[in-house]
Amino acid sequence: MAFKKRNLYSITAAILFMLISGYQVFAAGVDEVKIPTPTGFQAILVIVPIILIIVLLFMKVDMLVAGFAGGALAMLIGGIGIAQANEEFLKTIPQMLSNTVPVVNSAIAMAVFASGGYTAALNLVRRKIGNKNEYMAAFIVILQAAATYMSGVGGGTAMVIAPLAFAAVGAIPELIAAMSIATAVAFTTSPASLESSVVSKLSGIPVAEYVGTMRWVTLLFAVIAVVLAFYGAKKRGSLFVSKESEEYAAMSNGQLFKITIPAIFMLLAIIVGPFINKALDYSLINPLVYTIGTVALIFICTKFNLNQTTNSLIDGSIYILTRLFQVGIFLAFINLISNTGAFQVIASAAGNAPTALVVPAAVLAGVLIGIPAGAFVGSILGLVLPIAVSLGFSPLAIGFVTIGVGLGSQLSFVNITMQALSAGFKLPIIEVVKGNGKWVGSAIALLLVLSFILS
């Protein structure tokens, strides 16, 4: 099958990154096993499964099929038996599903979504600012970033907010790009996301520590996205405005604000809670407290009855649990590849690369892999991060690589967020990709500069 030029560039970049990487380090919670570094022809052979997986992902093959193909090939190359493969399989999946806090946060945020909290907030702000569309556009990005950060689900957030944004100000290219940038940075550094769980699993960094380390980066890019949306709306004005839905039009401002209270409470608990706990030297604002608090507020402040409230919480966990299970299976195959010594071979040339360029090269590789394989951000991290960890990357550097994959996915035709933006703003996805090119590309350039200076 013939590949487009961008796929060839991405494959080349991925392989080049692998060739500048360091020694193998196993995922957190897994006992280190000294595996002899393959040499000669065997050294070339053991990296073939990794290349096979990357190629299959670029071809839009399902991540589990790609992982199985690579893992099965690694078993043949490395002489790994079914018993050992089964051990990896049964060990890796529970490790991924043990990321409890992201599951809880995502479930609560999706319950807030279902109860109408974010829609009410958007309608309330729209009433207050009137025809000042630049402020409306800025608020839309803030809402997109906050909702994604709380839920860890960029595509699901965009599916709800994009149609509302289109109705409020129209299909402004800068707004769409700003929503993409904010989404990418939010879900790759969220305390509730699959991506943060993968980072934690592979690096051994607790989710809370990773999120805390990356918080200033998240805020920086979120502010840039807000400014971009403001600029675009100010420059272009409102392209299309529809009326409020009948349901919300009949509500007073006070009623709309009441519906937003659960979302406000949860956002403050997640963002401000850690600082309160540190000041008190006591874990007061913890997942149990804000789960009960948010669920109670949904019941009190929205039209949901008690059964609907609790059901929305359980239903909200489905997405994150499904994805954690999926990535757990994929990482089991990656662990089989690591047992052949593949990552040690890839890492053997690390001493030949200029130290200052290793982290930016990793970020760039993540970006370029993320473009054609943007539907599989979690699986891309499963391939890239073990090498980054093996080089001794700091939590900040690992975060830069993770964000790089996320930003690359916002130039992908197959990414769920991109598809949601295309549908919500009623634009062909090619137009969304083209419109994102300049602005998401600029964000990637800034990320590369930061990774060069700070890593």
**394, 379, 391, 393: which is closest to 347 by C-alpha?**
391
Helix axis angle, 273-280 relative to 253-271, nearest 10°?
Answer: 50
- The contacts of residue 351 (CB under 8 Å, 6+ apart) are none
The number of helix segments (H) and strand segments (E) in the chain equals 24, 0
Span 298-340, pLDDT tens digits: 999 999 999 999 999 998 888 778 878 887 898 889 889 888 8
- Residue 23's pLDDT band (cuts 50, 70, 90): very low
- Among residues of the chain, what percentage have pLDDT more than 70? 86
Name the pTM for this structure: 0.73
Answer whether residue 16 shows pLDDT above 70: no
Would you call 31 exposed, middle or buried from its count of C-beta atoms within 10 A (0-12, 13-18, 19+)? exposed
Average pLDDT, the chain: 83
**E strand or H helix at 188, and its extent?**
helix 173-188
Answer whether residue 293 shows pLDDT above 90: yes
- The mean pLDDT value for 134-144 works out to 90
pLDDT at site 59: 82
Calpha distance 40→97 (Å, rounded): 39
pLDDT at site 398: 94
Within 13 Å of residue 183, how many CA atoms lie on the same side as its CB? 30
Calpha distance 240→422 (Å, rounded): 16
pLDDT at site 323: 79
pLDDT at site 21: 42
Calpha distance 46→37 (Å, rounded): 10
pLDDT at site 347: 52
Q: Contact at 8 Å (CB) between 193 and 187?
A: yes
**381, 294, 299: which is closest to 334 by C-alpha?**
381
Query: Which residue type is seen at 431?
Result: E
pLDDT at site 296: 95
Span 76-95, pLDDT tens digits: 998 999 999 999 899 888 88
Measured between its terminal Cα atoms, the distance across the chain in Å is 39
pLDDT at site 126: 77
Span 147-178, pLDDT tens digits: 889 878 787 778 778 877 887 788 899 999 99
pLDDT at site 357: 84
Would the CA dihedral through 126, 128, 134, 139 be positive or negative? negative
Least confident of 21-35, 53-67, 104-118, 185-199: 21-35
- Residue 399's pLDDT band (cuts 50, 70, 90): very high
Report the greatest alpha carbon distance in the chain: 74
DSSP alpha helix (H) spans, 237-286: 246-249, 253-271, 273-280
**259, 251, 248: which is closest to 302 by C-alpha?**
259
Calpha distance 195→409 (Å, rounded): 13
pLDDT at site 220: 97
